[in-house]
Amino acid sequence: MKSRFESKEYEFLEIESRETEDGKIVSIFLNNPTSRNSMTWKMGEEFADLIHSIKKEKVLPRAVIISGRNDVFCAGGDLNLLRSFSEKTFSQNRRDMRKFYGFFLSVRKLPVPVIAAVNGHAIGAGLSLTFGCDLRIFAEEGKYSFNFVRLGIHPGMGSSFLSPELLGKSLGGRLLLTGETFDGKFAKTCGLALDSVPKSEVYSRAMDLALSLSKAAPLALQELKKNLYSWKQLDSALKKEAESQARNFISDDFKETIKSILEKREPKFTGK
């Protein structure tokens, strides 16, 4: 019998469930085929609704896998969404960005292990989403980057907190400040990814990990997740990010970002 969340239809998400002798494993796939699974407001609302529905189940899944369709994980924020921010006021953006972060980082509040099966490129907020998961499997050939500063905006989606939390201030700060691109092998070497495998093997490797986790005592894992993370600290960082990004969105530099994307050229920032 299907769970309530499995019976719902989503525009930008797909759900698969696998019954095992120890319980259910749920897989969530980002699916925005027109723009490399980029994050839209509607996708965020659907994602938060799905996470909430899973949390409300009487019998929780043993593990959840987050992955992507269309041969990519997530290209970050949708261009039309970004353009809309440039047309809003500081106050509107500060409010909306905080809400948008909350949609996707609701995954952090799931009381079961969450595995990011990063099956392809993950950029900006898309990469931040993987940091919000408990464990990560990266595609060796995937390209990953916190490209926020190269778009004229402060890092968002919790990355200014999650990156130093996972990698330390030195490496985490480096990836945020430079916006450099790295591959799956680097992610494994620096400890960001539990494993790095060819793209075609990412999901199966994540499923093997989920099956292994499903053997552990579920109540013990749920208590452990409560104690591993501080939502209060992350929430404080998200408020600061929302304010900083809201300030950047009304700058001339961000208007230049949008213009350069549409004209398919490098932006020329002036600091205004």
In this predicted model, what pLDDT tens digit does every residue of 181-205 receive, in sequence order? 999 999 999 999 999 999 999 999 9
How many domains, the chain? 1
Whether residue 60 lies inside any domain: the answer is yes
Lowest mean pLDDT among 7-11, 72-76, 101-105, 220-224: 7-11
Whether residue 270 lies inside any domain: the answer is no
* Phi, psi of 155, rounded to the nearest 5 degrees: -55, 145
Cα 204 to Cα 17, 108, 119, 190: the distances in Å are 14, 23, 10, 22
**Residue 104 pLDDT more than 80?**
yes
CA distance 232 to 201: 36
CATH of the domain at 77: 3.90.226.10
Lowest mean pLDDT among 57-61, 139-143, 163-167, 228-232: 228-232
Whether residue 199 lies inside any domain: the answer is yes
Chain segment 109-140, per-residue pLDDT in tens: 999 999 999 999 999 999 999 999 999 999 99
Whether residue 5 lies inside any domain: the answer is no
Whether residue 140 lies inside any domain: the answer is yes
Whether residue 229 lies inside any domain: the answer is yes
Task: Please give the span between the terminal C-alpha atoms of the chain, in angstroms, as a whole number.
Answer: 57
Whether residue 161 lies inside any domain: the answer is yes
**Residue 25 pLDDT more than 90?**
yes
Pairing, β 135-139 against β 195-197: parallel
**pTM across the whole model:** 0.95
Tokens of 85: 């921010």
Q: Using an 8 Å Cβ cutoff, are 257 and 151 in contact?
A: yes
**Residue 1 pLDDT more than 90?**
no
Range of the domain at 245: 13-208+215-263
**Residue 212 pLDDT more than 90?**
yes
Whether residue 53 lies inside any domain: the answer is yes
- Reported confidence tier of residue 230, pLDDT bands at 50, 70, 90: confident
**Residue 266 pLDDT more than 90?**
yes
88 secondary structure, DSSP code: S
